[in-house]
Amino acid sequence: MTTSDQPFWKTKSLEQMTDSEWESLCDGCGRCCLSKLEDEDTAEIYYTHVGCRLLDGQACRCTDYANRSAQVEDCVRLTPENVREIKWLPPTCGYKIVAEGRDLYWWHPLVSGDPDTIHAAGVSVKGRVRFSEADVPDNELEDHIVKWPGRVPRKRKR
């Protein structure tokens, strides 16, 4: 197989990707849009089932993606530079996987050709977001910690 026969994420660095290629690395899981807590002593990340106020928990998409940074003060825009440094990206994140030089999982829409495989594989937040951050005070987030967003699902293989 020649380089030209390989998909762009195997032949280009994150910095070389076009805007549309970069955006397509997002598998649409929605895990990064869950509220997270960090242990100050250990730096361990704890995910919750509380979604960003702009997250549509059924569609697993931001309801105002173009304006998200203006509407959500702590929304982090992923870039080729910061994706390598952010510790809270889930282990299934396409950006993280490609940055580490690994191949995308079979459920990623770029591999499967189907945006619904992310849901069928049990990777997405679809139906798993229990609350919006607008409804849960920060001091109660620890009551909503869940483990699944920090794990690769058992259905990771076809």
Q: Is 37 helix (H, G, I), strand (E, B) or coil?
A: strand
Check pLDDT > 70 for residue 158.
no
**One-character DSSP codes across 96-130:** HHHHTTPPPPTTSHHHHS-TTHHHHTT-S-TTT--
Q: 97-145 pLDDT, tens per residue?
A: 999 999 999 999 999 999 999 999 999 999 999 999 999 999 999 999 9
- Specify the higher pLDDT residue, 3 or 90: 90
**pLDDT confidence bin for 148, thresholds 50/70/90:** very high
User: Is the pLDDT confidence value at 3 over 70?
Assistant: no
Helix/strand/coil for 56 = strand
The beta-strand segments (E) located in the chain are 34-38, 45-51, 55-56, 61-62, 131-132, 145-146
> Do 70 and 76 meet the contact criterion of CB atoms below 8 Å apart?
no
Q: What does pTM read for this prediction?
A: 0.89
pLDDT band at 153, cuts 50/70/90? confident
Whether the predicted pLDDT of 25 surpasses 70: yes
